[in-house]
Structure 1
Amino acid sequence: MNYLRDEVRAGLVVFVSLFLMSIFVILIGGSAVFEKYDKYYAEVSNSGSLEQGAQVRLGGVRAGRVLNISIPEGEKGHVLIEFGVKKGTPIYKGTKAVIATFGFVGDTYLLLDISKATDEILTSSTSMTKTILPAKDPFEFKDFADKFDALSATADALMRDATKLFDSKNLQEFGNLLSNTNKAIVSTSSDIREITSGLRSTMDKLETVLIEMDKVVKDNRGEFGLTIKKARINLEKAEGMIENMEKASASLNKTINLQSRNIDALLRSLTETAENLNDVLQGLKEKPWSVIYRERQEE
């Protein structure tokens, strides 16, 4: 009799242990078995490493899980992802499904990007209809490597051309050309000043002659007075033209000096740009992952 009591007690202990273990399993991770979901779908050309049971995060917050991943029969070029979000969770129009990864090489999950969502709520899928969200294929490091190789080749060619363009010989020749251009224009400006000086001297003499003639014919009311008047008007016009020529000569000098400084600054800027491009290219070659993964800065 005592023997039977011990067996009953042992059986009860085992039963209670299994019951408690089941409760713990459900509390820890098995609640999803009984959780109800609203179903949605997403179509991608490549599901990457996304697997059934992976997390679904709405704006970064855990909201459901991937229910199934399949290739529709008779269709090519895309993979159908069936996922569920917690019952009653609103999904707005414009929400985009993105296959993402925790960190750089972490677990893969389905992110519902709500950055472009509108105020219109989508209806979940039913047995008769499928609500398909726009989706984006996962980022593949291989694709990045291929694009980076092409970018690197283009940048290398650009750097070789820039090196040839900005070598010391070309810079010296360009400097000589600029210097000769400045000299030619300065010489032209000097010639203009000499011409205007000669013209002004001639005008002064003409002015003196007109004054003397005006004294001689001041009492003459005929053609001589009218002729002298017209000559004086033409002389005033000529004086205005000479003043404009002098202003143009001064403006030309200022313009040449300004353009010379601008070209020097342009050459320095282009040289610095070529050097900066070389530094960026070298950094990408050493750490290509830095384009998509920001290194943790030291505090």
Structure 2
Amino acid sequence: MRGLAAPLVKLIVFAVVTILATGLLAATIANLGGGGGTKFNAIFSDVTSLNEGDEVRIAGVRVGQVEKIAIHDDREAEVQFTVSERDWLPASTTATIRFRNLVGQRYIALEQGEGQQGMKMSGGDTIPMERTKPAVNLTTLFDGFRPLFQTLSADDVNKLSYQIIQVFQGESGTITELVKNTASLTNTVADKDRVIGAVINNLNDVLATVNQRDDQLDSLIVNTQQLVTGLANERGTVGSAVTSLAGLTDATADLLEPTRPSIQESITSLNTLATTLNRNSDTVNSVLQTLPVKLEKLGRAASYGSWFQFYLCGVDIVAGPGTAPQLNLPTGLPTVNQPIYTNSAKRCTQDGLQELQTR
């Protein structure tokens, strides 16, 4: 038990501190405070986003909170609020709804207005609408700054927006800062004038080129429209063609699949042939240059009489070097690498060939 006492005490202390901190945080967020104090009323033309429990401030110091919001004369709003630690307000007091932050929370700011001094408002009195001001309409305000906001970063927009709200709410000490930031932002935009100018110049060049070729552009648009219209009118034929193309692709795949090994060997042999031709390019060039001359001379000689006699001694189909073990060839062809015809005449033998050469 002694070993558990110290951790248990620490756990209890931690739990109590956590509960108190959570409660304090919840009370702060919910604007919970003492409901005591003197009650006053104020008439506003618009209390959008003002809620019960929002703060009431004098010179920036919280002195109370909003207790109740109700409709007054069917087109106005009556706000009931409390002020603690005092039971009166100056008779010239004005009430203004201001932004507490950019999230949209509001508070009521009480200020001493112009008028007869020394007069007091007692509990339950009402500040008339002539001495109240609603919150600034952010939608109308920020729409005017939209072109500027489009060129700024998110942090700059938030900072500038908050300062604009403070200025339009009449808070002092922010106009100078707003002017400084606006000047800095406009200078930043001005620093990019070269880039902007280059973009505009390039855009002008593009537009000038398009303007010079407006006839071709019109023709392109018309032809494209005609093409699309033709394809739409023949969509049935196009669909059938796509289907037939799919069938052709499948048939081609079935045809090429069994001959793939042979094609691979042919590609390899073609590489060998290309290498050999490249290595003997001088000889090939010489043959190509002299062959037409020789063929021309042979043609001239043959034109005078029957100087040439051709005869068939044998036919054989040879694949590759003559030792290909297996080839995927269409059916009905003779056996590869074996003679399919041999002439038994003497002139087709080695002795007969030598005899013809000696004549």
**Does TM-score exceed 0.5, indicating one fold?**
no
TM-score (norm 1): 0.39
TM-score (norm 2): 0.33
